[in-house]
Amino acid sequence: MPRRTSCREGTPSRIDLRTTDREAAMAFYGGLFGWEFKDRDFKELEFKDSVTPEAPGHTIAVHHGGVVAGIVEAGGASPAWWTYLAVDDIEAAAAKVEAAGGSLLMPPGDGVGEERTALAVDPTGAVVGLCARGEGAEGIVINEAGAYTWSELMTGDRDAALAFHREVFGLTVRVVDLGGSPFTGLVAGEDMVGGVIPLPREGAVARWIVYFAVTDVEETTARAESLGGSVVHGPIETPVGPLAALRDPQGAAFSVWAVNLPAR
């Protein structure tokens, strides 16, 4: 069972679902991926604006014997999946956010277990988490069916987004040929840890897209619809395996991918 316990700066290190209905989200993702759940204390943190939880609560999703995600009830805020990128020094990284053209939604504070977290918005409007993990912190399960496998930043201003993530997280880029089309990968050290793609249409919102590994995209898509979810697009074939973009019943977008790449 692959588990991401230690991360180079800029590597996705955890994912959280912000939702308006934790119980409904648990029913959906439990039915879709076979997740089980346990509650943990969610410490009082200083949120700003629309991310303020009206009734804070934190649930851990468990699969394959380990943590796969967190679920946070966030009042009336728009449901969304958040990607947290690893940092070595969260105070130092958070201090770079505004200078790099972003804004801080949540200052550094104690998260779940041996983690310290913060939330930022990049100059293009995408929310991104910062996560500093202590030695005793649990890692997330990755690259298993029903678990996290990949994140991509969808943005309308590639250059501004890349400059921000280079300054705050130390990420660089590598452009690769993906079936005859260029793909911009985000690189931490020597490893490609994510990607950058353009907004699909005018009016679309910049955000990080979370991908979950599945063995059968068509079957997963049909099951998501039967559980009250919806299909944004797909399933489609790609040079790196079939995928589909979905929404859960509360409206949080995510993608599923039958990965045929080597485990990262």
Do 221 and 186 meet the contact criterion of CB atoms below 8 Å apart?
Answer: no
Contact (Cβ atoms closer than 8 angstroms) between residue 140 and residue 15: yes
pLDDT tens digits for 229-255? 999 998 999 888 899 999 999 999 999
* Residue 46 banded pLDDT, cuts 50, 70, 90: very low
User: Is the CATH code 3.30.830.10 the one for domain 3-141?
Assistant: no
Residue 8 pLDDT class (50, 70, 90 cuts): confident
Distance in Å from the first CA to the final CA of the chain:
13
Which residue has better confidence, 181 or 86? Answer: 86
Burial class (CB in 10 A: 0-12, 13-18, 19+), 22: buried
**CATH 3.10.180.10 in the chain, residues?**
3-141, 148-257
Label residue 251 left, alpha or beta by phi (over 0 means left) and psi (-120 to 50 means alpha): left
**Binning pLDDT at 50, 70 and 90, where does residue 74 land?**
confident
Q: For residues 6 and 87, is the Cβ–Cβ distance under 8 A? A: no
pLDDT of residue 6: 59
pLDDT in tens, 99-149: 999 999 999 987 655 678 999 999 999 999 999 976 555 678 999 999 999
Query: What pLDDT does 216 receive?
Result: 94
Kindly report the number of other CB atoms within 10 A of residue 263's CB atom.
10
Is the link from the previous residue into 235 a cis peptide, with omega within 30 of 0?
yes
Q: Which CATH architecture has domain 148-257?
A: Roll (3.10)
Cβ burial, residue 54 (10 Å; 0-12/13-18/19+): exposed
Instruction: Answer whether residue 43 shows pLDDT above 60.
Output: no
